[in-house]
Structure 1
Amino acid sequence: MKFRIEKTDVVEFNDDLTAWATESGADPRLTIVTEPWLTTNASSPTLYSADVDERFLEQYPRWAKLLEQ
């Protein structure tokens, strides 16, 4: 799944993802998706890719709204 995360939420997203990975035993393989055509504005949200399933969104529903379609 891909999530577009605001800079102010990155630490909290990482904390939730780490907690979920520890609990589920899964490796989310968190990576930043390179988007060279987008703005270089440092305050723009960053696109992250993580190997998670619906259980992550059930446990941490606030991230569902940031899911890229």
Structure 2
Amino acid sequence: MAEWLTPKQAGERVQRHWRTITDACRSGELHGEQRAVNTSWRIEAACLDAWMRGTLCIHRHSNVTPIRRSA
């Protein structure tokens, strides 16, 4: 079972401010989930650890962001 953290818990775990964690989730730098718009983030511990190591988490297969083409 995955261990889920709030931004505050994640920040305490890696000694970063919770706002840094939230900003990283919003930018896509750190994989996180929101159940609905404007709700709190949830971060899987394994994703947080990968982010701190500078590696891809299990949800990311590439560090390349696909280009969206307009129709």
Per the normalisation by structure 2, the TM-score is 0.31
**Which protein has greater RCO, CA pairs closer than 8 Å, 6+ apart?**
1
Structure with higher strand content: 1
Larger radius of gyration, structure 1 or 2? 2
Structure with higher helix content: 1
Per the normalisation by structure 1, the TM-score is 0.32
